[in-house]
Amino acid sequence: MSIQIRRVTVLGTGVLGSQIAFQSAFRGFDVTAYDISADALSAARGRLDKLAAIYRDQVPGGGDGKAEATAAGIALNSDLGEAVRDADLVIEAVPEVLTIKRDTYEKLGELAPERTIFATNSSTLLPSDIKDFTGRPDRFLALHFANQVWHFNTAEIMGTADTDPAVYQAVVDFATAIGMVPIELHREKAGYVLNSLLVPLLDAAMNLAEGGFADPEAVDKTWRIGTGAPAGPFQILDIIGLTTPYNIMVNGDATSKRIAEWLKENYIDKGKLGIATGEGFYKY
Ligand code: NAD
């Protein structure tokens, strides 16, 4: 018999956790969101209210009070045991720090029912890095969303060699049911599909501009016209925000460090962080 997922608990109510909780509830799942403190939960309430406004204005079917009702229907809890007591699926979106993930899964493995599936939204850790902390590697895999889940609706699904195929399939079905397009990976790959493509593109674009070969506008124009893509790499960087690539590149090799310095001097130090601050490579 196939595995049924009805009740979902999201761990961590930050940028991604709040979106995953909202999207799942919007599509009719019974959702609980867990975070570590009352303060974190009150921030979560604020995030859900902001998402309600976005869904009301931008997402088909979000009007007539549906978006507000979705936000109100998400249960918030700071007691991990209570939050996962009846969960069919736990989606983990806690900070990208291995010790925090480890601590979270060790507790979760003890507290969740045996049937509960665990999925990590980690962008940079492989499920193999985490599976031994879960106590149930056969019911564990990665389910990776992109920021702005209502708009950029890929869900990359990646198991380990230990993941039960029926669990994998149940998560593919769940992703589809909440309106995502499931992207199935057959083997573990750092960066999944999307970042395996995107990171080298963004790096190459920054190399061209930092090296003085071509301006960001020329690079973007080339990409748009030459491939038919709607946006060029610098437009994408403005959406991501410039601090994320800076933080990655400042710890990289000599070329990466030079690009980090270029980002800092020309953009970050001038408050040009991307769309979020009204200006990055472009003005908004
Ligand atoms: P965030 O910092 O916005 O949110 C993290 C949340 O976890 C916060 O609400 C924090 O209070 C909570 N938290 C802290 N310690 C915790 C603990 N011990 N147990 C439970 N919750 C705890 O982070 P984010 O950007 O939402 O990223 C979360 C995960 O999602 C990471 O694994 C990241 O790689 C992944 N991810 C992020 C993005 C993105 O664009 N931000 C995209 C895809 C995947």
The helix/strand/coil state of 197 is: helix
Catalytic pick from 18, 24, 122, 144?
144
Structure tokens at 181: 């397009």
Does residue 123 have an active-site annotation?
yes
The protein residue with its alpha carbon nearest to ligand 1, atom 12, reads 12
pTM of this structure:
0.93
What distance in angstroms lies between residue 191's CA and the mean position of ligand 1's atoms? 17
| Element housing 226 (H / E) | helix 216-227
Q: Are strands 7-11 and 30-34 parallel, antiparallel or unpaired?
A: parallel
Structure tokens at 95: 């900070």
What distance in angstroms lies between residue 254's CA and the mean position of ligand 1's atoms? 29
CA pair distance 161, 186, nearest whole angstrom: 10
Does residue 24 have an active-site annotation?
no
Does residue 156 have an active-site annotation?
yes
One digit per residue, pLDDT tens: the chain, 284 residues?
789 999 999 999 999 999 999 999 999 999 999 999 999 999 999 999 999 999 999 999 999 999 999 999 999 999 999 999 999 999 999 999 999 999 999 999 999 999 999 999 999 999 999 999 999 999 999 999 999 999 999 999 999 999 999 999 999 999 999 999 999 999 999 999 999 999 999 999 999 999 999 999 999 999 999 999 999 999 999 998 999 899 989 999 999 999 999 999 999 999 999 998 999 999 99
Domains along the sequence of the chain with CATH: 7-184 (3.40.50.720), 196-277 (1.10.1040.10)
Ligand 1, pocket residues at CB < 6 Å: 11-17, 35-36, 40, 93-96, 100, 104, 121-123, 144-145, 147
Residue 2 has what DSSP assignment?
A: P
Answer whether 48's CB lies under 8 Å from 67's CB: no
Does residue 265 have an active-site annotation?
no
Q: Of ligand 1's atoms, which has the minimum distance to the CA of residue 122? A: 32
What distance in angstroms lies between residue 119's CA and the mean position of ligand 1's atoms? 13
